[in-house]
Amino acid sequence: MGQALVEGDEMGWSEGQTRLIEHGRGGLWVRGVAGAGKTTAAVERVRRLLGRGVAGHTVMICTPQRLLSRPYRGFVGGAERVMGSDPQFMTFGRLTQYGVGLYWPWVAEAAGLPTGVQPTFLDAESAQWLMGLVVAPQMAQAGIFQTVKLPRARIYGQVLDNMNKAALVGFDVHTIGERLSRAWSGEVSQLRMYEDVQTAADLFRAYCLETGALDYSLTVELFLRHVWPLPAARAHFEAMARHMIYDNCEEDAPAAHHVFAELVGTCESAVVMLDDEANYRRFLGADEQSAAGVLAEACDESLVLEPYGDVEARRALVGHFAVSFGFERGELPEADPFVGVERLSARLFPDMLDRVAERVAAWVKDDGVPVNEIALVSPYVSDGLLFAMRYRLERMGIETRSLRPSRMLRQEPVVRCLVTLAYLAHPAWGIVPTVEDIGHVLVTVIEGLDPVRAALLASVSRKRFSPFETLVAAMQERVTLALGERYERLRRWVEAYQQGEPIALDHFFSRVYAEVLSRRGFRMHGDFEMAQAVAALVDSAASYRLMMAALPMEVDSAVLYLEGLSSGLLGQRSLSEPDVLEGAGVLIAPAYTFLMANQFVTHQVWLDAGSGGWTERLAQPLAHPYVLSAQWEDGRVWTGIDEGLSAAQGAYRLIAGLLRRCRGTVVLASSEYGEQGMPQQGVLLNAFGRIVRRVAKREGRKTDGV
């Protein structure tokens, strides 16, 4: 690979950044840790490419997930960009689905899939649900997974994860069980589970091939086998990628690296960037070693960007953590690693939250720090933690926003209410809601109705909507005529509905919302937050219905959907706040989600720093991100040493990633007892304690422990 020296730019770009921005023909391989300015320079590169007349539709900006393309989208959507066609934003998932859809007639024929029908792409939720339908009979008859004590959604989810890895890593989907078994050294009973995993994967794949239902793994396989080799398809994609930016390639899997590397080889210019010490999506098949091999090889030149504006102390603390987790030996950084680091400890979890709120308030109110410059991160953000933290901050007049991957629809009160209404309106389904459920409906939807009177109305209506006029006069008076009239509007709507033919469930939700629940006199009138939840429910039910209609399944779609919703197999739609990263407020997020959003802030609080969650791998007894990766030597046994090393590496990278995204103060906040009341002393605090002792020893001081 060639090296070229370029003078620094008058705009303040470093020499390395200037080289990235002005890179000419061929591929440039760039690596550096977070904060080195790679993305900032790449956005500038896009600006200059378009500015000098490169057509936008020939520029492809690839990222492993949509969130990571945010800086590019900000520029592309802005008024400062020159006129022209828009660049293409691409993820590997999007590319494969687009390609398979576009060239479907050829794909279906070549793969022996049903021709003459449209492909049915399954999202994660639909795939999980369909797998349940296909595998459940085997669970009942052959007893598969009978030894697994996990919710069904998690069983199916892990089988699908394994299938996705087969496609993304490039091994046969029928060898998942063997691979997992060969690496297993524990109790023999686990081997039966791996056999069951394979049975489920085989059954599901056979079903998909028979019906043309395409889950992510099959879509990727079809793309690689039947779309990518097509000359017409290749020409089409190459025309879309005359100039490429591929950012955060370490968060993609080997299949993506191979495809994008081939595009790098044919485009006029490409800049491919890797974040060192990241690879946070390993559990989804992300593989930095594959990236560094395949993509670096496809490029003609290479460049390493050093972090700029990186304070010596921060670098020192990252170095100390590396030593604490056993990754580096030798000279320790000289600088004081504790500059800009605070410890905040409390006995009980709520006390810790109180103290965190006070610290945040001091930043905002005393120091004038903008709320957007503060992030509170934790390994997990439960509903309870989110509510408790929000309540404390908002009581102090401090806005908050949250970034969480997804939330179950069934947890929304308004969704529960609409489900009960659906049962009430369809007595033929034979499911009679409880008095409590009806009371919940009434108090949720009728403006002005309190829980006591709602319970009263529900109890006298004897599990059905009795007419208000049939209630005794004293009861009518207690409820009041005004509220009784609202109750009657809803009751009459349901009654009228029952006179006609039943309609699709999503249509039912949509109509009852539009014709009653969002009208004046009902709580949903003008409540846009509730509207969002209903919209998500309507979308989920509609997409389920359309999927079922496209597949040869003779089942009562509506009742099954509602069962799936209540069991948690369906309805996992994201209800995230729109544009949460654009909004104002202290950000509350799970640590990995924060890293994958690539946010840089002035101050961070690490909530619940004593929790074991900072270092624990996601519990996946039926899957394995390391064994089912391209780097694993098939047949090797996964040992406790491997487990310890991977946990330490994961923890170090998480901590280093967070530290590099903090410009000011990091607060390690912990409590002796955690959210669930258990004593807390996780690996993160132990590692920090070792650093404190090491530094004290170097300086000849004594410590009282941490």
Where on the chain is the footprint of other proteins (CB under 8 A)?
53, 55-57, 64-66, 77-86, 88-91, 93-94, 97-98, 101-106, 116-118, 121, 123, 216, 232-233, 235-236, 503-504, 507, 509-511, 513-515, 518-520, 525-526, 528, 531-532, 534-535, 537-538, 574, 578-579
State the minimum distance, in angstroms, from the CB of residue 89 to other proteins.
6
Which contiguous run of DSSP H or E holds residue 651?
helix 640-660
State the minimum distance, in angstroms, from the CB of residue 509 to other proteins.
7
- At 402 the three-state DSSP class reads strand
Q: Which is nearer to other proteins, 427 or 526 (CB)?
A: 526
Q: Which is nearer to other proteins, 41 or 524 (CB)?
A: 524
State the minimum distance, in angstroms, from the CB of residue 76 to other proteins.
9
State the minimum distance, in angstroms, from the CB of residue 422 to other proteins.
14
State the minimum distance, in angstroms, from the CB of residue 523 to other proteins.
13
State the minimum distance, in angstroms, from the CB of residue 115 to other proteins.
9
Q: How far apart are CA 642 and CA 420, in angstroms?
A: 49
Q: Which is nearer to other proteins, 91 or 289 (CB)?
A: 91
State the minimum distance, in angstroms, from the CB of residue 55 to other proteins.
4
Query: Which residue, among 123, 276, 158, 280, has the nearest Cα to 628 in the 3D structure?
Result: 158
Q: Which residue is it, tokens 């919940």?
A: 440
Q: How many Cβ atoms from other residues are within 10 Å of residue 105's Cβ?
A: 10
Cα–Cα separations (whole angstroms), residue 247 to 42, 66, 211, 298: 9, 11, 36, 15
Q: Which is nearer to other proteins, 510 or 680 (CB)?
A: 510
Q: Which is nearer to other proteins, 115 or 470 (CB)?
A: 115
Which contiguous run of DSSP H or E holds residue 442?
helix 435-445
Q: How far apart are CA 302 and CA 31, in angstroms?
A: 8
Q: How far apart are CA 485 and CA 477, in angstroms?
A: 12
Q: How far apart are CA 356 and CA 666, in angstroms?
A: 12
Q: Which is nearer to other proteins, 169 or 537 (CB)?
A: 537
Q: Which is nearer to other proteins, 456 or 547 (CB)?
A: 547
State the minimum distance, in angstroms, from the CB of residue 67 to other proteins.
9
Tokens of 276: 């060192």
Residue 590, φ and ψ in degrees, nearest 5: -65, 145
Query: Which residue, among 304, 315, 356, 360, has the nearest Cα to 339 in the 3D structure?
Result: 315
What DSSP character marks residue 264? H
Q: Which is nearer to other proteins, 550 or 706 (CB)?
A: 550
Tokens of 635: 């047949």
- Its sign, for the CA torsion 244, 250, 252, 255, is positive
Q: How far apart are CA 406 and CA 573, in angstroms?
A: 6
Q: Which residue is it, tokens 């530094």?
A: 695
For residue 475, give every residue at least 6 positions away whose Cβ sits within 8 Å of its Cβ, in sequence order, or none.
456, 460
Q: How far apart are CA 323 and CA 144, in angstroms?
A: 45
State the minimum distance, in angstroms, from the CB of residue 520 to other proteins.
5
Q: Which is nearer to other proteins, 196 or 215 (CB)?
A: 215
